[in-house]
DNA sequence: GCGCAAATTCAAAGCGCTTTGAGTTTGCTA
DNA sequence: TAGCAAACTCAAAGCGCTTTGAATTTGCGC
């Protein structure tokens, strides 16, 4: 039988008002009194009743999530991982979720309904596309939100958390160039997604700085699964002048690419270099690849947790968070990258 | 500005009591009055305030979900799909989720905390293992729950929704036997999972009925990804007496298996038959395989929705659901299954 | 020691719903 | 037409918290 405010106040010989204020950090409470209250809370294990708080404050203490059910997104491994981070953080603060599976064409209606329902205090948005129309919709909805990722074009002033995809792939490409690679391929995510566009831009930029051009025949866009990584790599290797290095937008793609490379009788790291972006999925660790993978790393789960923090912090008016965050991915060099030597190129040609 | 009960009652010239009762289906309300109330609800768009309901009834109107973060589960595509079904149904009833990411070793504590928190009315459980200890824990916790899947051994009297895995794989195997196959392989899920055990049992049983034995060298257990399907199939094909047919526990596994088959210069459906279990993942449609896949089909999303229905129905005391449900998977024959002819066997041997 | 502002604390009024216990009608029976 | 049970409807009391507006203390300058 949990104690409630009234009992706690009685126990302390204080009024509910004072106890409530002590707990919620109001300044007009004597420091000693607050200490007494806090102690009593610890001893009794008092936890405020969320339903009552919701009723009294009008806050929902929950976060709305629109879960895309379009092919290849909803049940994407990446979504689960991000969600885990989000949930982890939410649970700490006793926040709930309202998960709204929604087809892309219904998304706008879903947002509106959700915002109007009063069931959520804030919304979360992901899978940004170029010129994503959802940002304008959310801005018009007067409900706080945070975007994971960034659109390209359109309004600039909205809260987001993104990683610097351009920089990550610029850095990765630069490393490859420094190692002597000149023909560099890119196995990327779907073409309409903002992160994929930025990553390609990073590659292009680095090449350009060295006076090189990105060969469009060495760029593939697809859903980021093992399977597509394999197919893309296979096609690259069949080209008359195949790449000596390849960048993959996910470890899943890299898994397939590695298989294609091995199957062609080539060795990762010596014959062909490979760098993948690593979302730190527990299923797919780059260090466990037969040839450990050089990666640009940024934890998706951590991003989820951070987004939740910001959303919750905003709702509770606690802590000041930057409105726009751009995380820098780490470039971690492992065995899958090596110099592009003449010998490599020859051995490759022989296949 | 949404209307509340008081305003609605005023509008109707009724008391809040009567309106509330009319809405909640109490019998002591005149049928005509109830119609009037319902009409007014439609016109005003009245929606009861969940926070107030929670406070008044003591119900949380939410469902607890323990999301396993062990390797290869949490961010599993199957989990996302099931979750989508669950969420879809929950949203309809304005139910929330409390997602609790938890490492397997903390699960018990997580259950207890969740049950004690009063934040959820019911719990959901999945990824059943043989002799799964979590069932006993949940039963002791006096909180309603539904299990997706079934344990093997241990208590029998608990609410579950499962598919008849034994029957599904029995049926699939029987079909293969009828087509003349004698050496049948199984690429299964992880060995400790109940569904995998049952599927293997189904295969064994069918073979036994035809006087055949399951060759243990033709059974692999692993995480159900593309990658492992490929590896398993590759190993099977290297055996001195390779299988003429293979059963896969998921379409992801089948994808890998098909690749290995093609790579070996064989053709699915003529040289080697393949049947996969299809969870109806939007990402991976068996009908879109280059050779459309024969499958045992049962929608994971539908299962999620059903579990949510049962959980919610139980909480609201609405509708009577069976406590234990065993869904029958459909066996859908497509082009990936064909007769095992001598010619096939010969051509296979030549490789 | 007095008076006043600042510092604390408090009682009470909601938040919007459910539900108890009591009051009103209605429909029949006698 | 009185009388009574059945059928409806209602006023009011919570649920556990926040917050307003007022009351009480305390601290200081004179």
DSSP states of B168-221 = HHHHHHHHHHHTT---EEEEES-TTBHHHHHHHHHHHHHHHHTT----GGGEEE
- Tens of pLDDT, residue by residue over A175-204, are 999 999 999 999 999 999 999 999 999 999
Nucleotides of D under 7 A from a protein CB: 7-21
**Do both A31 and A82 map to the same domain?**
no
Count of domains forming chain B = 3
Pairing label, strands B294-297, B330-332: antiparallel
The answer to whether the CB of B144 falls within 8 A of the CB of B311 is yes
Tracing tokens 């490393």 back to the chain, one arrives at A175
Residue B350: is its pLDDT beyond 60?
no
* pLDDT for B341: 65
**Structure tokens that stand for B75 in this block:** 């961010």
A54 found inside a domain: no
A209 found inside a domain: yes
Rounded CA separation A293/A312 (Å)? 36
* Contacts of residue A59, Cβ cutoff 8 Å, sequence gap at least 6: A53, A121, A315
Nucleotides of C under 7 A from a protein CB: 7-21
Question: At B71, is the pLDDT very low, low, confident or very high (cuts 50, 70, 90)?
Answer: low
Which residues in B lie closer than 8 A to residue A98 (C-beta atoms)? Answer: 91, 96-97
* pLDDT for B74: 45
B56 found inside a domain: no
Chain B CB within 8 Å of residue A81 CB: yes
Cross-chain Cβ contact A230/B259 below 8 Å: yes
Chain A CB within 8 Å of residue B282 CB: yes
Mean pLDDT within B44-52? 94
Rounded CA separation B189/B192 (Å)? 9
**Do both B159 and B170 map to the same domain?**
no
**Do both B342 and B212 map to the same domain?**
yes
B16 found inside a domain: yes
**Nearest C-alpha of chain A: how many angstroms from B129?**
20
* pLDDT for B118: 87
Task: For chain A, list residues with pLDDT below 70.
Answer: 70-75, 341-351
Neighbours of A26 (CB within 10 A): 12
- Tens of pLDDT, residue by residue over B191-241, are 999 999 999 999 999 999 999 999 999 999 998 988 899 999 999 999 999
- Tens of pLDDT, residue by residue over B288-298, are 899 999 999 99
**Do both B243 and B343 map to the same domain?**
yes
CATH, residue B117: 3.40.50.2300
- Average pLDDT of the residues of chain B: 91
Least confident of A69-73, B37-41, B82-86: A69-73
Mean pLDDT within B272-279? 97
**Do both A272 and A182 map to the same domain?**
yes
- Exposed, middle or buried, A335 (CB in 10 Å: 0-12/13-18/19+)? middle
Residue B346: is its pLDDT beyond 60?
no
Residue to mutate among B54, B61, B82, B101, with most A CBs inside 10 A, is B101
Chain A CB within 8 Å of residue B100 CB: yes
Residue B334: is its pLDDT beyond 70?
yes
Cross-chain Cβ contact A96/B96 below 8 Å: yes
**Do both A261 and A345 map to the same domain?**
yes
**Do both B184 and B288 map to the same domain?**
yes
**Do both A124 and A179 map to the same domain?**
no
B53-92 residues near strand C (Cβ < 7 Å): 53, 55-57
* pLDDT for A349: 44
- Tens of pLDDT, residue by residue over B284-324, are 889 989 999 999 999 999 999 999 999 999 999 777 788 99
B191 found inside a domain: yes
- Exposed, middle or buried, A192 (CB in 10 Å: 0-12/13-18/19+)? middle
* pLDDT for B303: 97
Q: Helix/strand/coil (H, E, C) string of chain A?
A: CCCCHHHHHHHHCCCHHHHHHHHCCCCCCCHHHHHHHHHHHHHHCCCCCHHHHHHHHCCCCEEEEEEECCCCCCCCHHHHHHHHHHHHHHHHCCCEEEEEEECHHHHHHHHHHHHHHCCCCEEEECCCEECCHHHHHHHHCCCCEEEECCCECCCCCCCEEEECHHHHHHHHHHHHHHCCCCCEEEEECCCCEHHHHHHHHHHHHHHHHCCCCCCHHHEEECCCCHHHHHHHHHHHHHCCCCCCEEEECCHHHHHHHHHHHHHCCCCECCCEEEEEEECCCCCCCHHHCCCCCEEEECCHHHHHHHHHHHHHHHHHCCCCCCCEEEECCEEECCCCCCCCCHHHHHHHHHC
**Do both A73 and A222 map to the same domain?**
no
**Do both A254 and A335 map to the same domain?**
yes
Residue to mutate among B51, B98, B230, with most A CBs inside 10 A, is B51
A113 found inside a domain: yes
- Tens of pLDDT, residue by residue over A22-68, are 999 888 888 999 999 999 999 999 999 999 999 999 999 999 998 87
CATH, residue A43: 1.10.260.40
Quote the domain boundaries for residue B341. Answer: 165-297+331-350
**Do both A172 and A214 map to the same domain?**
yes
Nearest to B254 by CA among B268, B270, B244: B268
B57 found inside a domain: no
A55 found inside a domain: no
Question: Which nucleotide lies nearest residue B20, CA to C1'?
Answer: C18
**Do both B158 and B186 map to the same domain?**
no
């Amino acid at each position: 039988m949990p104690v409630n405010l009234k009992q706690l106040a009685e126990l302390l010989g204080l009024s509910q008002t004072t106890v409530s204020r002590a707990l919620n950090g109001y300044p007009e409470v004597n420091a000693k009194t607050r200490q007494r209250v806090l102690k009593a809370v610890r001893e009794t294990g008092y936890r405020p009743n969320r339903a009552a708080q919701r009723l009294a404050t009008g806050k929902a203490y929950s976060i709305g999530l629109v879960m895309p059910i379009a092919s290849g997104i909803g049940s994407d491994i990446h979504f689960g991982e991000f969600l885990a981070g989000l949930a982890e953080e939410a649970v700490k603060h006793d926040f709930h979720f309202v998960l709204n599976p929604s087809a892309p064409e219904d998304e706008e209606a879903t947002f509106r309904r959700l915002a109007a329902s009063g069931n959520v205090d804030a919304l979360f948005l992901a899978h940004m596309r170029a010129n994503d129309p959802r940002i304008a919709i959310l801005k018009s909805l007067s409900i706080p939100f945070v975007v994971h990722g960034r659109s390209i074009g359109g309004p600039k002033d909205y809260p987001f958390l993104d990683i610097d995809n351009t920089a990550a792939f610029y850095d990765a490409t630069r490393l490859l160039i420094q190692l002597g690679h000149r023909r560099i391929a890119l196995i990327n995510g779907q073409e309409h997604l903002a992160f994929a566009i930025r990553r390609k831009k990073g590659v292009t930029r680095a090449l350009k700085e060295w006076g090189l051009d990105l060969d469009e025949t060495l760029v593939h866009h697809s859903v980021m699964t093992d399977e597509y990584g394999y197919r893309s790599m296979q096609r690259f290797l069949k080209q008359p002048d195949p790449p000596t290095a390849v960048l993959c937008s996910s470890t899943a793609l890299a898994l397939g690419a590695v298989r294609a490379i091995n199957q062609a009788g080539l060795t990762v790291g010596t014959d062909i270099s490979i760098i993948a972006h690593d979302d730190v999925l527990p299923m797919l660790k780059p260090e466990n690849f037969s040839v450990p993978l050089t990666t640009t790393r940024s934890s998706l789960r951590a991003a989820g947790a951070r987004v939740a923090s910001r959303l919750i912090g905003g709702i509770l008016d606690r802590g000041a968070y930057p409105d726009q965050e751009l995380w820098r991915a780490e470039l971690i060099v492992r065995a899958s990258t090596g110099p592009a030597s003449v010998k490599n190129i020859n051995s490759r040609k022989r296949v």
